[in-house]
Every structure is written in structure tokens, then in C-alpha cells.
Structure 1
Amino acid sequence: MTRRPAPQLPGSVWSSAVRPAAVRRTAPRRVLTLLALPLAAALALSGCAPEPGSADGSGTPAGVDGGTAPESVQPPVEGETKPEIGPEPTKTAELPASFPTDLVPLAADAVIDDAGERGAGLWFAVLRYPDAAAANAALDALIEAGGFAVLSDESGLPGERTAQLETAQVQVSALIAPSEESESSGAESPGAEGAVLLSLDITALT
């Protein structure tokens, strides 16, 4: 025969002994749960907060661009060769053999600064004089000696003069101007100090 357990009546000694133990085991768990909630909330907030010194949590200080830093300018390499500048054109102090001296008679004492032939029937000559008065006198003498018709004769800037001359055989463009040395001297009257140049561009008409 199976023995049935004796029924526990309310208020019995066994039931009153069990209940206090269950209550004692449940109370500490509730206390721990209540204490853990504020700690979990604090940890969650600390994980979302930005890093110190940054505005958005990226680690970059506020007001500083987080983009790529500009490339630094590289200093010139020691020993690097620079492009060479070609030499200045050399001057020729002699008239070319084809120069039409019979049509453009130059004074025997004229000092030639440069001269040459640009092409067939094209010549140039640059004559050097001590001052503007000497250069103007030489141009007037050339006009008379060559029998030129004066198409134009004008004065420009101080110390400058331009003239267009022509005969049946040639046409001459003349320019009187202070040399670079005279302009750099700072003289009040250009040509008073340094050289003055008389430039002639000659074109054969026949």
C-alpha cells in the first residue's frame, strides 16, 4: 500500500517554517536588481558621450578640420639645373657687303653700333653719336646727300625723332633715340649724357 503524505493544514508548523525562508531568499535579489539599474544607465550614457576635446565624438578637437592635411611645399633640390638663357645677339660694327652705300650715303666718320642684312633688299644700320644734336645733324646731312623726299618728320618724347624718307630706289625709316645707357643715367635731357642712336631701316624699292 502507498502511503499518502499527511495534508498540511493552514497554520501548521511545517508551512510556517517554509514561508519565512522563501521570503528571505527573494528579498536580496530585488535589492540587487534595483541597485543595478542606475549603474547600467550610467554605463550607457558614458558610452554615448563624445571623447574629451571633441565636439562630435570623432576625436578631432572642435573647430579643427578633420580633412586631409595640405601637402607641404618641397624645397628645391640641391644641384638642380636651371634652364639656360641663350646669349644675346652679337652686334656687327661693319656694314654688310650688299649695303647700298651709294643710295644711303653715310658720313665717313659715322660710328657703327650695329648693322646687317635682314633679307633680300632689306638692311639696317645703327649709328652712335655723343648727343642728340650730333644725331640730328647726321640725319639732316643724310637727307640732303641722298636726295631723299621727306614723307614725315616728327619729334616724340624728349630726345626722340622719327622720319620717313624715300627716293625712287629705296625707302628709309629713321629713328633717333637715347641709348639704354643714356636712359639709365637719369639725365634731365636724354642724350645729354651717354650715347644717342640713329637707327636706319632700309628697303629697296627696285
Structure 2
Amino acid sequence: MTRTPRATASLAALALLLVPLSACAAEPGTERPDGTDLTEKVEPEGGSWPEENPEEVFEKSAELPADFPAEFVVPESALVDDAGSRGPGVWFVVFKASDDASAALLWDEIVSAGGFTVGDETETGDGGRSATLSVPALEVTAVTLPADDGAVLLSYDLVSVGS
């Protein structure tokens, strides 16, 4: 059987394609020189998780920090779920509303009472909403988080602007 130059070139090109592909993945049971099976999932020494967080990391406080900014007006009807300070000039507060309608009213009351400008407002993937609220002294990241029971958390991260 005689091969034409075209057939020989095609076979050579096919061989060049197949050789690198055969080296891409380790075959089951393949071992490295140190004896480690390349197909086996290996967890780090001591397990997959570091030491557990201490309990105080998860404790909530329903009281606003003493230095919480007055520019962020907290409505009297608001139920504080958690609040605190993350450092100088940085705070957070989380409110809990019983349903979507109550959450929307609380959101609007906070924006109105604080005289905030609302920017970057979007709907979140879970049906909540997020926005950036701003006044000259503060920039606030606001997010609502719907819960499975119908309640809604309203989370606000505040950062002092200038001073």
C-alpha cells in the first residue's frame, strides 16, 4: 500500500494532537514518586477546619455603641437585632422586621429621617434589596435579607466620611 504525501501529513498531524492529550489526566491508581495517589482527595493535616470560633464571636448586642453616629436616625419602632462597632468610624446595625411590607416601611423611614441619597439600588438574588445610602458625614451599605419564615433582616454597615 502506498501512502500519498497528503495522507502521511494527516497521520502525522493526528499523532501530534493525540500524544499531548494522553498526558493531561492521571489514570486511576497513578501515584507520585512519594506514593501519594493523585486521584485521592487529601485533607490538610489536622482536618479541614481550623479551631472553632469562641462563643463571644456569635453574641449579638441589641444596644447601639456609645459613639454610634447621630446622622443615622434609628426609628423608635425599629427592633434592633444586632449592633456594634468594627473599629473607629465604622459601625453596623441590623434590624428585624416581621414581613416584607414592614421592612419596606422601615427602609423608607431610615432613608427619609436621615436625609440619605440612595444610590446603586438593586434587587438581590434572594428577593431582597441593596443600596448605598449617603449623607456628607456617612456612607452606608444597606441590604435586606429575607428569611424562610417571612421575616426580613435589614443590615446597615456605616462608615464615617471625613471628620
Residues 103 and 152 in structure 2, CA contact (< 8 A), matched pair in contact too: yes
Shift of residue 158 of structure 1?
4.2
Indicate the percent of aligned positions where both proteins have the same amino acid. 40
Unaligned ranges ≥5, structure 1: 1-82, 183-192
Unaligned ranges ≥5, structure 2: 1-49
When the two structures are aligned, how many residues end up with a matched partner? 111
Shift of residue 159 of structure 1?
2.9
Tell me the residue number matched to 2:156.
200
* Per-residue Cα deviation, 1:112-162 (whole angstroms, up to 9, x for no partner): 111000000000000000012211211111111111111221112243100
* Per-residue Cα deviation, 1:163-204 (whole angstroms, up to 9, x for no partner): 11111110010000123xx2xxxxxxxxxx342100000000
CA change 1:158–1:89 in 2 (3 A) is closer
Shift of residue 106 of structure 1?
1.1
Residue 49 of structure 2 corresponds to residue 93 of structure 1: no
Tell me the residue number matched to 1:105.
73
Tell me the residue number matched to 1:146.
114
Residue 128 of structure 2 corresponds to residue 164 of structure 1: no
Tell me the residue number matched to 1:115.
83
CA change 1:131–1:119 in 2 (3 A) is same
Between 1 and 2, higher relative CO (CA 8 Å, sep ≥ 6) is seen in 2
Structure 1 distance, partners of 2:51, 2:132, is 40
Structure 2 distance, partners of 1:97, 1:194, is 32
Tell me the residue number matched to 1:130.
98
Worse-superposed segment, 195-204 or 144-153: 144-153
The letter for the 2-side match of 1:202 is L
* Per-residue Cα deviation, 1:75-105 (whole angstroms, up to 9, x for no partner): xxxxxxxx974425211011111111x2010
The letter for the 1-side match of 2:152 is V
Structure 1 distance, partners of 2:96, 2:121, is 20
The letter for the 1-side match of 2:61 is T
* Structure of greater Rg: 1
TM-score (norm 2): 0.63
Structure 2 distance, partners of 1:159, 1:130, is 15
* Per-residue Cα deviation, 1:7-34 (whole angstroms, up to 9, x for no partner): xxxxxxxxxxxxxxxxxxxxxxxxxxxx
Worse-superposed segment, 140-149 or 165-174: 140-149
TM-score (norm 1): 0.50
Structure 2 distance, partners of 1:197, 1:148, is 20
